[in-house]
Structure formats: C-alpha cells, structure tokens
Structure 1
Amino acid sequence: MTEQLEPMPTDWRRALAIVAHPDDVEYGTAAAVATWLDESREVGYVLATRGEAGIDGVSPQEATELREREQRASAHVVGVSLVEFLDHRDGVIEYGPALRRDLTAAIRAHRPDLVVTINHHDTWGGTAWNTPDHRAVGRAALDAAADAGNRWIFPELADNGLLPWDGVRWVAVAGSPYPTHAVDVTEGFERGVRSLLEHRTYIEALTETDPEAYSRHVLHQITGSAAPRFGDRPAVAFELFPR
C-alpha cells in the first residue's frame, strides 16, 4: 500500500522560498503559495540567479532583464511582492560558504518560520538527473536554515545588522523524489497555472506546445501525481525537514 502524505504544518506565519532560477517556484510550488496567501500568511521569494543562461539564442544580458521581469509578474499573480535576486551565475552556482552566507543573510533578513526550496537530491527520481544549480541551492538552503541561528557562523552578518534568527522550524523541499507532506491546492491551482504562464518567453523557447496548454498540463501532472497519496485532491508535495 502506498504511504499517504501528511498535511503540511499550518502553525506558521511567514515563509521564504529560496530557489535557483526564475520559474523554479512556478513548477508547482506557486499553487501552494497562492493557497497559503489566501490564509493570510506571508511569503517571499529569493532567487540565487536571474536565469541569464536559460534561453538558447538569447544573450545573457537580454535574458537577465527578461527573466527578472517575467519572475516579478509571475509572483504578482499569486500575490507575492517580495522578490529578491542574489546574482550568482546561472548554470554554475557553487555550493560552499559564499552561497551559504548569502542564503543565511536572506533568512536573517526575512526571519521565516518555514523555508521552501528546490530538490537537492541527485535525481528527480530514477534516472532523471537533477541540475547542479538545483542541487547546490537546495542543499545550501537546508544548511543556511541552521547557519542563520548560529552567531559564530558568518559573524560579519551581525556586524551589518543581520542578527541571528533561529526561528526556522521546517525546510520544505519541492520536487523531491521522497515527499512526506502535501498541500491541497484546489483553490490555488488556476493561479498556479497563470503564474507559470507568465514565463511565456522561457516556455516558448522550451517547447513548441502552446504556452497555456503547456502550463496547464505541467500543473495537472504535478498536482495529479500527489493526489492518490493525499485523498485524491490536487496537491503539491514536499519533503519536510523539521528543525
């Protein structure tokens, strides 16, 4: 019998989504964000890159402005106004102290109860290999949730006014091949579709499928795959790490 997914915790007020690229949040998580915002919670986005290496045939300089604009429009669809970019290099993000420091600074600045990040595992399941950027950012976000509360790690941050924050209670990993929890996104599904659709230029470079049909198909796939383990409701699944 397939193990059922548990409901995500609800006793929190503020979440911070930390991902690698524009559009990482929109592959499912944005539908959960829409649902959370309906419940009067606060959610912000921090992106390690501006996605400048993501569109073949579009120069990094042009893609930087384009993808930032699409990401802000995408966030606006679900009601997120806080969108920050850290300017690590797209495609070659390095896991290490510099990345951990930047993510620690973001967590200390925004003081979330819940950190949401992207799949840090080697694969999406089976032999579907994950990208190095996702792996680096996901792993660094898990580490930074602890680093943020330790005054002796990156003490220079406190000198700049970013005092330790030990209030992260969970890190939720989206797209993990080992999900444990889920969010019912019945109410947030359509906004999730529209949020992904705002990345129209990126989608048009990715596939010849009509962008709206593509976005709807992707969201149906993501939410449908979790549904059998969550009361047959459209759901977004997470691997939840309590702290």
Structure 2
Amino acid sequence: MRVLAVGAHPDDVELLCGGTLAKYAAKGNKVTIMIATNGNVGSEILSSEEIAAIRKQEAEQAASIIGADLIWLGYDDEFLFHDRPTRMAFINAIRSANPDVMFVHGEQDYHPDHRICGEIARDCRILVTVPLIITEHKHMLKIPHVFIMDNLGAIGFEPEAYVDITEVFETKAAMLKCHKSQDSYLEHMYGMDYVQFMSTVSSMRGQAIGVRHAEAFRSLPMYPVSGGPHLLPI
C-alpha cells in the first residue's frame, strides 16, 4: 500500500499520525510525508530564510527514521491560501506519491494553515484522477481513501477509529525530537514541553481503547467512500 500524510507544517504529521506511519512503514508499505509550509516564522532569533532551511533539514531527518519520502512545497508559514496555483501544486504532489490512503487535517482544527491544508487536500482527492488537469505527474487511476487526523490537543474531535501505537511510541517520539528548533521555540514562547504534550494526547487516546498510546482518526464522510478503518495498520 502507498500512504501519504499531508501536514501544514513541519512536525504536524509526527504529532498527529507519526506512530501510524511508523507502523505502516514497518509492514513494508510505501510512506510519503508532504509538508505544505516551510515553518519560516518559527524562531525568535533567526531570519525567515535561516529557520526555513533548518526546519526542512529537521523534516528530512524525521522522515528518514521510518524511511519515508518527503515532499516539501515550501509555502510561507501562517499564510497558506486555497487558490488555483496552490491547488495545482497539491494535485501534482499527491499524484507524485500516488497514494492508496491519505491522511489530512480536519476542518475544525485550531490553526488556519491546518484547516486550509486539509481543505485543499480533500478537494484534490478526486481531481488527482482527472486526465485533463495537466501537471508534471500523470493523473492517478483511483481516488485515495482519506483519513482525517486528530485535532491538535484532541480538542473538538470525535474519533471513529484508533491505531494502537504503543509498540512504536518511541519511534514517534524520536521523529518529533528531530524538530529541535520547534521544540525550543514552543518552550520559549509558551513554556510547552513538546514531547510531553504529544505523550499526554496519545495516552488519552490510548485509554479509550485500553492501551498505553494511540492515535485517533475518522474516514472522510464524503462520496465516494473508497475504503474504511480496515485500511489502518493493526
């Protein structure tokens, strides 16, 4: 199976579905991580260009832990918009990964970049199969099944399915720890312990199904439904 996780920022995918991606990868599935923005406002001391370069390196390191490919679109952090050029870039990127399953942000998440990124990805799931929409990569032959990732902090999200990530929790944590610049920035700005925040949420989701750590998802409830929770890794 080919799996694509679409995140608005470097580190979003690790926070929201890193354990699930690790399980897919361990089972021999092809995993791709696609990042829409470059994180270029995530520092209180570096220039936008400097922090963007660092965050790309960190994203590459995180992806390499599970052998995932990385697609880096490079849009400005905090200013992602749903216009024609951006939609075309998403279509081309999704086609390059050619996923059977796609993970995207939900429409109720707190961050505008998250919401817009998820909206574009959802709106592109059918368009990637349309031959007359011409991009560098050829159109796909089937519509991928879309899973909605948990909201940050698990706020306002009603899960439909869970993945037990207890056995790969340390892998998820290692992926997240690659994002050292964001860890430092969040601690400086908000006094936030990055890994502890992730651990608290995964522990809470795990309690719902009687395991130590879990991640939560919903299938996109829109026509056509091309799969279901059985596509998640056991």
Relative to the length of structure 1, the TM-score reads 0.82
TM alignment of 1:12-161, pairs within 5 A: 13-80=1-68, 82-121=69-108, 123=109, 130-152=110-132, 155-157=133-135, 160=136
User: How far apart, in 2, do the equivalents of 1:15 and 1:98 lie?
Assistant: 24
Q: CA deviation at 1:215?
A: 4.2
Q: Percent identity?
A: 25
Structure having the higher helix fraction is: 2
Residue 211 of structure 2 aligns with which residue?
232
Maintained 8 Å contact 2:187/2:194: no
Superimposed CA distance per residue, residues 131-180 of structure 1 (whole angstroms, 9 cap, x where no aligned partner): 1111110111111111101224xx232xx4x2221423311121241321
User: How far apart, in 2, do the equivalents of 1:216 and 1:51 lie?
Assistant: 18
Maintained 8 Å contact 1:34/1:188: yes
User: How far apart, in 1, do the equivalents of 2:138 and 2:106 lie?
Assistant: 28
Maintained 8 Å contact 1:74/1:198: yes
Q: Does 1:169 align with 2:156?
A: no
Structure 1 pair 74–193 and aligned structure 2 pair: CA distance change class (3 A): same
Secondary structure at the counterpart of residue 156 of structure 1: coil
Q: CA deviation at 1:208?
A: 5.3
Structure 1 runs of 4+ with >6 Å offset: none
Residue 172 of structure 2 aligns with which residue?
192
Structure 1 pair 14–77 and aligned structure 2 pair: CA distance change class (3 A): same
Q: CA deviation at 1:47?
A: 1.0
Q: CA deviation at 1:108?
A: 1.4
Relative to the length of structure 2, the TM-score reads 0.84
In structure 2, the gaps of 5 or more residues are 152-156, 227-234
Maintained 8 Å contact 2:164/2:213: yes
User: How far apart, in 2, do the equivalents of 1:171 and 1:90 lie?
Assistant: 24
Maintained 8 Å contact 1:34/1:79: no
Maintained 8 Å contact 2:186/2:194: no
Maintained 8 Å contact 2:164/2:211: no
Maintained 8 Å contact 1:117/1:138: yes
User: How far apart, in 2, do the equivalents of 1:44 and 1:134 lie?
Assistant: 18
Q: CA deviation at 1:52?
A: 0.8
Maintained 8 Å contact 1:112/1:167: no
Residue 8 of structure 1 aligns with which residue?
none
Maintained 8 Å contact 1:28/1:236: yes
Maintained 8 Å contact 2:19/2:169: yes
Q: CA deviation at 1:202?
A: 1.4
Residue 202 of structure 1 aligns with which residue?
182
